[in-house]
Amino acid sequence: AQSVAQPEDQVNVAEGNPLTVKCTYSVSGNPYLFWYVQYPNRGLQFLLKYITGDNLVKGSYGFEAEFNKSQTSFHLKKPSALVSDSALYFCAVRDLAGGDSWGKLQFGAGTQVVVTP
Shortest distance in whole angstroms from residue 92 CB to another protein: 9
Shortest distance in whole angstroms from residue 24 CB to another protein: 15
Complex with another protein: residue 56 or 109, whichever CB lies closer: 109
Shortest distance in whole angstroms from residue 105 CB to another protein: 7
Shortest distance in whole angstroms from residue 33 CB to another protein: 10
Complex with another protein: residue 19 or 111, whichever CB lies closer: 111
Strands 24-26, 3-5: pairing is: antiparallel
What's the rounded Cα separation, in Å, for the pair 97 and 106?
14
Distances (CA, A) of 42 to 39, 85, 87: 5, 15, 11
Q: How far apart are the first and last CA of the chain?
A: 41
Complex with another protein: residue 6 or 115, whichever CB lies closer: 6
Q: Which residues bind another protein (CB under 8 A)?
A: 32, 34, 36, 41-46, 49, 51, 90, 102-105, 107-110, 112
What's the rounded Cα separation, in Å, for the pair 97 and 58?
25
Rg (CA), the chain: 14
| All residues at 6 or more sequence positions from 99 whose CB lies less than 8 Å from its CB, including other chains | none
Complex with another protein: residue 95 or 110, whichever CB lies closer: 110
